[in-house]
Structure 1
Amino acid sequence: MKKKIGILGGISHTSTIKYYQTIMNLYYERFGNYYYPEIIIHSLDFQYFTDLENELKLQEYEDYIVYSIHCLENAGADFIIMAANSPHSVLSNVIKRACIPILSIVDAVGVEAQKKNLKKLLLTGIKYTMQSDFYKSGMRKYGIEVITPNDAEQNLINQIIFQELVLDNMLDKSRENFLEIINRYPADGVILGCTELPLLLDNKDTRIRLLNSLNLHCEMALNYALCDSSRT
């Protein structure tokens, strides 16, 4: 019996669509049939959510996330994935207020990095994520050091995400700028710690190993939905 997947989405709609599509594609690639797991999506108000992040209204931010989790619980989800990196900054608090499991995107990345024997990773994402501690603290249990770009580079990456990628707009110049940034740092790999960043580039674009947080999270969710905990 497959578990019903609850997706906390809308942050942004572009990544939510990609989550849904990726889970379906991963299932079909593995099994070659259409017995897909059931998926329930609750889409948040992206501007309101982003305003709470930018203004660091963390209690209201947490409450809004929990509101969506309760909507998914009431709709019949068996477990939840939050289709973005940044809400995982308050995951430990949110888990305490949820009645069903929530799968961590940080753990999805950490397990993969550990498998690849990566020891030092460059974190990229929205400014809120790069300036938060949840990736650095989350990677410690995997024996992995996390570094971040400088302030000017963070501003540029943040701009690319919010002014282009969330609108499903990929520019060659932005790809070049992003590659220049990640090539400056002595790291074993790069965390694409915004679920829109994989729209900009993938491993064929660079020699540096890229950790696609969206794909890894989707794989974890599919495995959990199929009750294959050995693969999460």
Structure 2
Amino acid sequence: MKGSKKRLGILGGISAASTQKYYQKLTDLYYSLEKDYYYPEILINSLDFQYFTDLENEKRTTEYIQYIVSSIHQLQKAGADVIIMAANSPHSVYDEVKTRVQVPIISIVETTAQKAKELNLKKVLLTGIKYTMQSDFYQRKFKTYGIDVIVPDEQEQIQIDEIIFKELAIGKFLQSSRESILKIINGKNVDGVILGCTELPLLIKQENCRIPILDTLTLHVEKTLYNLLCKLKER
């Protein structure tokens, strides 16, 4: 990787807490694999989190797509060769976005579905913010892999959503909240759980859970770094 100019563009700030974790995991994993300091060059475009979530909650889809696309274009202009959107929810419009940009976007949903297939999971629970749990982009992708996706009931969705926005997004981690989410997970007849919000892995770990967890943040980081290392070694 010496002398490489390959650049990763991160669409971040959604939220700040998970974007920090992305950066840390990318650099830590790189060093653990390569044992040198020739880290990939990383560009971060940190979005207005409140505006972003307002667009989601108010279902202003056209503006939402436009905001994501224009932000990726800024990363392109800065020299990004590959993009990741450092959150699950913008992948609800992944197909619409990828046709409007000129660089590849590594999908967190595709990556997670591939891992679920590898683990031979048949039925999984999707957790995340309400926007994600009430959308169908995970269900559609997982169906192509022969995997069913279910979501918590309405009250459970509200509870998880509040924990994410009122606690995890600002770096607050409570044992009581961990126990609440685990109770929801353990109450479902599933063989795996998707942590479909990149803040959730900051609270829920595999050692906390009796069934396999799909840590979307870590899976996304691993796929991204694998992509970068392969591309760089081809140069």
Question: For this structure pair, what is the TM-score category when the shorter chain's length is used for normalisation?
Answer: over 0.9
Q: Distance in 2 between matches of 1:202 and 1:189?
A: 13
1:72 equivalent in alignment to 2:75: yes
Runs of 4 or more, structure 1, over 6 Å off, are none
Tell me which residue corresponds to 1:174: 177
Q: Distance in 1 between matches of 2:190 and 2:28?
A: 31
**8 Å contact 1:11–1:83 — kept in the other structure?**
yes
1:226 equivalent in alignment to 2:224: no
Residues 201-216 of structure 1: pairs in structure 2 closer than 5 A: 201-216=204-219
**8 Å contact 1:2–1:226 — kept in the other structure?**
no
Residues 120-199 of structure 1: pairs in structure 2 closer than 5 A: 120-199=123-202
Two-structure CA RMSD over aligned residues (Å): 1.1
Q: Secondary structure at the match of 1:102?
A: coil
CA deviation after TM superposition for structure 1 residue 227, in Å: 2.0
Q: Distance in 2 between matches of 1:17 and 1:191?
A: 21
Q: Secondary structure at the match of 1:40?
A: strand
CA deviation after TM superposition for structure 1 residue 70, in Å: 0.2
Q: Distance in 1 between matches of 2:73 and 2:5?
A: 21
Length-normalised TM-score, structure 2: 0.95
CA deviation after TM superposition for structure 1 residue 201, in Å: 1.4
Q: Distance in 1 between matches of 2:118 and 2:231?
A: 18
Q: Distance in 1 between matches of 2:164 and 2:57?
A: 14
* Aligned residue type for 1:138: K
Shift of the 2–204 alpha-carbon distance from structure 1 to 2, 3 Å rule, reads farther
Tell me which residue corresponds to 2:32: 29
1:12 equivalent in alignment to 2:15: yes
* Aligned residue type for 2:137: F
Q: Secondary structure at the match of 1:33?
A: coil
Alignment partner of 1:109 out of 101, 112, 121? 112
Percent of paired sites with the same residue = 58
Instruction: Decide which moves more: 123-132 or 217-226.
Output: 217-226
**8 Å contact 1:2–1:225 — kept in the other structure?**
no
* Aligned residue type for 2:17: T
Q: Distance in 2 between matches of 1:19 and 1:69?
A: 17
CA deviation after TM superposition for structure 1 residue 228, in Å: 5.8
Number of residue pairs matched?
Answer: 229
Q: Secondary structure at the match of 1:113?
A: helix
Over residues 204-224 of structure 1, what are the superposed CA-to-partner deviations in whole Å (9 max), with x where a residue is unaligned?
112111100000000111011
Q: Secondary structure at the match of 1:146?
A: strand
Shift of the 194–127 alpha-carbon distance from structure 1 to 2, 3 Å rule, reads same
Runs of at least 5 residues in structure 2 that lack an aligned partner in the other structure: none
Alignment partner of 1:59 out of 57, 62, 77? 62
Q: Secondary structure at the match of 1:73?
A: helix
Q: Secondary structure at the match of 1:5?
A: strand
Q: Distance in 2 between matches of 1:133 and 1:40?
A: 30
CA deviation after TM superposition for structure 1 residue 32, in Å: 1.5
Q: Distance in 1 between matches of 2:36 and 2:191?
A: 37
